[in-house]
Amino acid sequence: MSKQTFVYDVVVYGGNAAGIAAGVQAVRMGLRTIVIEPGIRIGGLTTGGLGATDAGDPATVGGFAKQFYERLAKKYNRSGLVWRFEPKTALEVLYDCIEECGLPVKLRDRLKEAGGIEKRDNRIVSIALESNEVYEANIFIDATYEGDLMAKAGISYIVGREGNEVYGESNNGIRKPLRLKKPVDPYRVPGDPSSGLLNRINPDPGGPVGGGDLKTQAYNYRMCLTNDPSNRIEVAKPEGYEEDDYEILFRLLENGYDQLLFKLTMMPNSKTDSNNTGQVSTDYIGMSHEYPEATYARREQIELAHETYQKGLIWTLQKHPRVPEAIRETYAPWGLPMDEFTESGHWPSQLYVRESRRMLGEKIITENTVNRKEMDDDPVGMGSYAMDSHYTQYCLDEEGHLCVEGGFMASVKAPFPISFRSIVPKKAECDNLLVPVCLSATHAAYGSIRMEPVFMVLGQSAATAAAIAVRDQLSVQDVPYGELRRLLEQNGQIVDLGDHYVTPPGTSGNPL
């Protein structure tokens, strides 16, 4: 296949909500722009089942993000902003935005695994896709959840959890293991350590409390389910179902656990955003650690394993004889909506990659910024949700009890600034790249920042900085903050609330 080369002012790699926000803003500012989405659907988690928006303080949501939630309200014939919505409706809104500004979007193409980036000194010249298309640009924006363009461009980054001592934090690193709410024997043959541990259980946490490691918090799919018989497809026992994957669940239930096994948060039109809840649920705990650095082929295997586990969980809760009848009856009415995810078998195509690579850029945001002990003077958006990490692993504690480890939800007392320098790499590494999703933040701080409205805000801000850099022929690091802030505020971005904020909702409780 012959090589085709295309030239733009800005290339956005990653068509999730942040990438679309970036692309729309760049076009609005007169830049020749394209968004390239490796998958089959734009919008990422925002159109991928995450309809129960984690907004924190709504006052921090401005610009394109606010317009998105206002447009959702209009779709439902409501006023104000809508924070609970169906995946297909979110998709309609994003396509409306794309069509209105004439933003070209390319689906189903991704960076070549080898040789996908051409750099000259500290500047990206072009990116090459698997289709053999090459895209040159003045500025590149990596809006992916994985940070693939950033990594292939040779930018410094981290995967996993920093130790608390690295940045003077208290919520980072390995947590004290937490015993299950009902005791569960961890061995294949109960009471017999020589039989080996059940699937996905580690013999210990892997290090001291507060120490760093390479593990990532659990992923899942945000399941959109319905109990409307006219729109419901039954979830069949999936190919590859492994009963051993649910042995912890069976033993937990047999010991009297009677709480919800996954959320049934209602969205419009008898649909749900069904997320993880508790210690045994839709999160495939312990199975995300390889994902950030995995090959494309291995990632696809991990994604399929998550899908199989969750479909198997639904089938198990509805049909398995080891599940109490009352629980089977609770989950029996639920299935996949016929009118959602029609391009991917009515199941979301976007895995909830809660955290992957995190850039080591000009500024690293830590929990000290989140807690407003350190305040940056160049904000391009604000965070306000709790620092939230899902569980990282099943393991035994020192006394041999089965535990979960890695989860926390630490309250944020007030909105905090997100520095412009956190979305740009070190100048010596690259001077024409912006990274609004896999930005420069510690594991603890990223737990607050990693919310879809915040990603949209940062995507728009990245595009605004790109416009200045293109106009004035500057490196992204040299974009003057005063001019950037003026344009951000002109376009409705919220970069400072002063003392005009409320305590953010969603900052206490246990969402894990």
Give the other-Cβ count within 10 Å of 341's Cβ. 23
Q: Does some domain include residue 170?
A: no
CA–CA separation, 429 vs 109, rounded Å?
Answer: 26
pLDDT computed for residue 500 by the predictor: 63
What span, in angstroms and rounded, lies between the C-alpha atoms of 358 and 172?
Answer: 14
- Residues 495, 381: contact at Cβ < 8 Å? yes
pLDDT confidence of residue 497: 87
Q: Which residues fall within 8 angstroms of residue 352, CB to CB, at 6 or more apart? A: 45, 48, 50, 219, 220, 221, 222
Distance CA 278, CA 285 (A): 11
> Apex CA 276: angle with CA 389 and CA 228, to 5°?
150
Q: pLDDT 10s per residue in the chain (512 long)? A: 678 999 999 999 999 999 999 999 999 999 999 999 999 999 999 999 999 999 899 999 999 999 999 999 999 999 999 999 999 999 999 999 999 999 999 999 999 999 999 999 999 999 999 999 999 999 999 999 999 999 999 999 999 999 999 999 999 999 999 999 999 999 999 999 999 999 999 999 999 999 999 999 999 999 999 999 999 999 999 999 999 999 999 999 999 999 999 999 999 999 999 999 999 999 999 999 999 999 999 999 999 999 999 999 999 999 999 999 999 999 999 999 999 999 999 999 999 999 999 999 999 999 999 999 999 999 999 999 999 999 999 999 999 999 999 999 999 989 999 999 999 999 999 999 999 999 999 999 999 999 999 999 999 999 999 999 999 999 999 999 999 999 999 999 999 987 665 555 443 333 33
Would you state the structure tokens that stand for residue 63, as one six-digit string? 């610009």
CATH number of the domain that residue 40 is part of = 3.50.50.60
> What pLDDT does residue 502 have?
55
d(CA 258, CA 307): 24
Token pair for residue 186? 């961890």
Query: What 3 state SS string does 28-88 have?
Result: HCCCCEEEEECCCCCEHHHCCCCCECCCCCHHHCCHHHHHHHHHHHHHCCCCCCCCECCHH
Nearest to 446 by CA among 224, 145, 137, 117: 145
Alpha helices in 350-406 (DSSP H): 367-370
Is 131 inside a domain boundary?
yes
Would 377 be classed as within a structural domain? Answer: no
- Tokens representing 35 are 């968004």
Nearest-5° Cα angle at 182, 176 to 184: 85
If one counts every other C-beta atom within 10 angstroms of the C-beta of residue 202, the result is 18
CA distance 368 to 167: 9
Rounded CA separation 108/422 (Å): 29
Residue 365 within any structural domain of the chain? no
CA gap 134, 431 in Å, rounded: 20
Strand intervals (E) in 22-130: 33-37, 105-107, 117-120, 123-128
- Asked if residue 340 is part of any domain, the answer here is no
Domain containing residue 102: 4-159+423-490
Instruction: With respect to residue 51, please indicate whether it lies within any of the assigned structural domains.
Output: yes
Per-residue pLDDT, 1: 61
Q: Are strands 117-120 and 105-107 parallel, antiparallel or unpaired?
A: unpaired
> Rounded to an integer, what distance in angstroms lies between the CA atom of residue 29 and that of residue 138?
15
The per-residue pLDDT for 510 is 34
Structural domain includes residue 223: no
- As to burial, measured by CB atoms within 10 angstroms (0-12 exposed, 13-18 middle, 19+ buried), residue 434 is buried
SS3 content of the chain, % helix, strand, coil (to 5): 30, 20, 50
- Total count of domains within the chain: 1
Assigned domain for 118 exists: yes
Closest C-alpha among 120, 194, 136 to residue 128: 136
